[in-house]
Amino acid sequence: MQKKLSVSLKNFSALRIGGQADIVYFPETLAELTELLDEQPARPVVGGCTNVFFGDLPELICVKYLNQINETAGGIEAECGALLEKLFDFAAGVPATVGGGVIMNFGAFGFELKDFLRSARVWQDGAVKILPAAELRLGYRSADFAGIVLSAVFVKKQLEKKNEYLKLRQEKMPWGQPNIGSIFKNPAGLSAGKLIEDAGCKGYKYKDLQVSEKHANIVVNNGAASARDMLDLIGQVRQAVRERTNILLEIEARYLGQTENGVRR
Ligand SMILES: Cc1cc2nc3c(=O)[nH]c(=O)nc-3n(C[C@H](O)[C@H](O)[C@H](O)COP(=O)(O)OP(=O)(O)OC[C@H]3O[C@@H](n4cnc5c(N)ncnc54)[C@H](O)[C@@H]3O)c2cc1C
């Protein structure tokens, strides 16, 4: 297994925001991953880092080399680090992985992983188990499940509209600029982007960060932004929307790093 010491996490995050990790592990087999978790259950696990930005961390596990995909009689079985876009057209152009996708219930263009997930092999409380999809309780950009996804079985692939969806993404998003997709979840029946725009935050600049001119629920990093800057900007946008509408936006993006209460995972 590869291990890297004293690693800058900036280039891990799709937003290009990261502090320093003392050690990053890159397991190459599921057995290596479960050993790392058995040894220290609190080690955070990431896949494509398309939904996270980092502060400083003592340790991190990156599963990008666990990327086997097998077609079996029971469905398509994919390891946690396999790229979602190899299985689903609605993820085209996003380097998200199966594990991160399941945990966030990745969704776009009217589809979500919940529609396709049959079961998952997970590490939970020191044991490896196979859970039927219902037990992961996937909801809107969430899974009500505490554990690590090792691999997942999907009913089928769906790749027919890959080019069409990629083109739509490129038109709608600040393509090519560092970002981690939507920062906030849409409140029921409402668009977070519209609420942010109506609160006057579209295009708002804070240090090296900017609320995208193209999509108000996306923040882009124009250079050397820090996790502190990002947390501050999130707070400012939330506050602006709350003042105007009394709605407190729920945060979809994930921060891994130090907080006042210790390391957040
Ligand atoms: C350009 C772009 C477009 C995007 N478009 C969409 C979109 O259309 N729809 C959408 O839903 N999201 C979108 N996103 C956000 C992001 O791709 C999703 O949230 C995705 O599910 C994250 O997957 P990941 O592998 O990158 O996870 P990471 O960012 O690596 O991790 C996300 C969270 O999952 C946890 N995690 C990762 N792997 C595991 C595992 N194996 N077991 C347990 N926990 C794990 C991490 O600790 C972290 O809390 C977009 C992001 C970008 C950059």
Residues 120 and 149 in one domain: yes
In a domain, 11, yes or no: yes
Residues 257 and 180 in one domain: yes
Atom 20 (ligand 1) nearest CA: 101
Ligand 1 centroid–CA 93 distance in Å is 13
- What Å distances lie between residue 128 and 76, 119, 139, 147, CA to CA? 19, 13, 23, 10
In a domain, 161, yes or no: no
State the ipTM, two decimals: 0.99
In a domain, 168, yes or no: no
Cβ atoms within 10 A of the Cβ of 243, count? 9
The answer, yes or no, to whether residue 263 has pLDDT greater than 90, is no
Beta pairing partners, 112: 107
- Whether 6 sits among the annotated catalytic residues: the reply is no
Atom 5 (ligand 1) nearest CA: 181
**Which residues neighbour 104 within 8 Å (Cβ) at sequence distance 6 or greater?**
51, 96, 141, 142, 143, 252
The answer, yes or no, to whether residue 223 has pLDDT greater than 70, is yes
Question: Is pLDDT larger for residue 262 or for residue 23?
Answer: 23
DSSP symbols for 87-142: TBGGGTT---BHHHHHHHT-EETTEEGGGTEEEEEEEETTEEEEEEGGGG-EETTE
pLDDT at 261: 52
- Whether 119 sits among the annotated catalytic residues: the reply is no
Stretch 9-14: mean pLDDT: 96
Residue at a domain's end among 119, 154, 189: 154
For position 89, which CATH number holds? 3.30.465.10
Q: What is the CA radius of gyration of the chain?
A: 18
Structural domain including 238 reads 174-264
3-state secondary structure of 65: coil
Q: For a pLDDT cut of 70, what percent of the chain falls above it?
A: 97
In a domain, 160, yes or no: no
In this prediction, residue 74 has a pLDDT band, given cuts at 50, 70 and 90, of confident
Tell me which residue has tokens 């560092």.
Answer: 178
pLDDT tens per residue across span 98-112: 999 999 999 999 999
For the Cβ of 121 lying below 6 angstroms from any atom of ligand 1, the answer is no
Report angle CA 67, 182, 138 to the nearest 5 degrees: 60
Residues 184 and 256 in one domain: yes
Residues 260 and 178 in one domain: yes
In a domain, 159, yes or no: no
